[in-house]
Amino acid sequence: MGERSRQLFEEAARYFPGGVNSPVRAFRAVGGEPFFVARASGSRVTDVDGRSYIDYVASWGPMILGHAHPRVVAAIQKAAETGTSYGAPTELETRLARLIQAAFPSLERMRFVSSGTEACMSALRVARGFTGRSGIVKFEGGYHGHADSLLVKAGSGGLTFGVPDSLGVPADLARHTLTLPYNDVEAVRTLFAARGADLAGVIVEPVAGNMGVVPPRPGFLEGLREITRRHGALLILDEVITGFRVARGGAQELYGVTPDLTCLGKIVGGGLPVGVYGGRAEIMEKVAPLGAIYQAGTLSGNPLAMAAGVETLTLLQAPGAYADLEAKAERLERGLAEAAAASRLPTRVNRVGSMLTAFFTVGPVDDYASVRRADAGLYGSFFRAMLDRGVSLAPSQFEAAFVSLAHTTEDLEATTTAARESLAVAAASR
């Protein structure tokens, strides 16, 4: 970390817990202290000490076009000139909804909110209100925002009710959330056989992106769809990360599974704060003002976020955009795998579309247990060596790297070269 970043971090620690406004930014999972960003453009971020990095954090996913895309910036500026927030409807909301529904036909009705956390929290309330049931199923390693009922881990057995995974979460609330192993459809089948009448729905990241990139096993999502439908529960796909990322229509397009409710975020706002939840019309028409399920928000449908989203999703309609993303991500995956093979470090690179993670472990990584076997200390060494060579990765073994349309062939080649050198450094640190 440069001197100016160090000074800013010391000052920030006087105002914010850990010096940051979101925990992973503190770099505690990888060692060291964070650099402070001064600006970003295209595939790069530049810190306050003047160092430039090839960026694969991409603001945790939304910068699919790259940073500060000129058309997105112009759209935000134009919107700001007429006001930044009204607390009243605008045409921009409908324009963005039209673009979303064209890519996600399952969102027959939707509601804009201000974050992915808010979207998932609201979707659970809708599922409970629509079904009249309280229980929610989630999966180990899945993260759906920091709402109380979702900060839950499994109890003593697969069929026990959850216990809080954070201080401040009432046990009485947490007990309504049940946690099962990701990618284990038989565990879901067993749970529903025992408690199906109490369960309002299943929420799942169709491609896990908050324990690193872990794709669904063949039949897992299809099994969730069949089980929930048979028991009268709702299937909620949390596509906050995967929506418009792994395909234009998200994981539900990629895997051919239609949920009852979907949560979106990240790319939908073009980098500005936004979330979306929605689904079947008969379900969403239970939401106020049409129904008795209440949800509201002063900043919902904020015109700046709507303008950025409209421009971003319009640009993603360009012919070949997703083929270009796929080719770039595949090239990065191949480069990382070749560098790992040369280093002889046990490494597994998981990729779906333009999101990927390199795990330092032996064998496949397809559930939470195999994720936890990865060597996080080795990743920390690799991360720091990559940063020294001008490549910014997620500061955690258990997060994704994101490729953007702004990444160039030169960026990808430089990243592969940096990986080869950094893996040698990491190997020497063992």
pLDDT in tens, 362-404: 999 999 999 999 999 999 999 999 999 999 999 999 999 999 9
Average confidence score pLDDT of the chain: 93
pLDDT for the residue numbered 145: 87
Matching residue, tokens 């936890």: 372
- Lowest mean per-residue pLDDT among 52-61, 141-150, 410-419: 141-150
3-state secondary structure of 381: helix
pLDDT for the residue numbered 335: 97
3-state secondary structure of 403: coil
Are both 218 and 144 inside the same structural domain? yes
Going 277 to 245 to 37 to 35, the CA torsion angle's sign is positive
Are both 108 and 202 inside the same structural domain? yes
Are both 260 and 168 inside the same structural domain? yes
pLDDT for the residue numbered 309: 98
Are both 15 and 103 inside the same structural domain? no
CA dist 303 and 80 (Å) reads 8
Greatest Cα pair distance in the chain: 63
Percent of residues, the chain, with pLDDT higher than 90? 90
pLDDT for the residue numbered 164: 59
Give residue 121's pLDDT band: very low, low, confident or very high (50, 70, 90): very high
pLDDT for the residue numbered 158: 31
pLDDT for the residue numbered 236: 98
Average pLDDT estimate for 316-340:
97
Instruction: Please say if the pLDDT value at position 316 is more than 80.
Output: yes
Are both 167 and 98 inside the same structural domain? yes
Catalytic residues: 143, 238, 266
Are both 210 and 107 inside the same structural domain? yes
pLDDT for the residue numbered 1: 80
Number of domains within the chain: 2
Are both 164 and 293 inside the same structural domain? yes
pLDDT for the residue numbered 160: 31
Are both 98 and 28 inside the same structural domain? no
Domain range enclosing 18: 1-32
Strands 109-113 and 348-352, bridge-based pairing:
unpaired
Average pLDDT estimate for 327-348:
96
pLDDT for the residue numbered 161: 39
Read off the CATH number of the domain in which 143 is found: 3.40.640.10
Instruction: Please say if the pLDDT value at position 24 is more than 70.
Output: yes
- Lowest mean per-residue pLDDT among 42-56, 140-154, 224-238: 140-154
CA dist 199 and 179 (Å) reads 12
Residue 106 lies in a domain: yes
Residue 94 lies in a domain: yes
Average pLDDT estimate for 196-204:
97
Residue 353 lies in a domain: no
pLDDT for the residue numbered 174: 66
Instruction: Please say if the pLDDT value at position 407 is more than 90.
Output: yes
Give residue 49's pLDDT band: very low, low, confident or very high (50, 70, 90): very high
Give residue 193's pLDDT band: very low, low, confident or very high (50, 70, 90): very high
pLDDT in tens, 135-184: 999 999 898 987 766 766 533 233 333 445 667 666 666 677 899 999 99
Q: What is each CA distance from 5 to 32, 181, 225, 388, 409, in whole angstroms?
A: 12, 40, 48, 15, 30
Residue 387 lies in a domain: no
Are both 11 and 112 inside the same structural domain? no
Instruction: Please say if the pLDDT value at position 69 is more than 70.
Output: yes
Domain ends where: 315, 337, 356?
A: 315
Strands 261-265 and 275-279, bridge-based pairing:
antiparallel
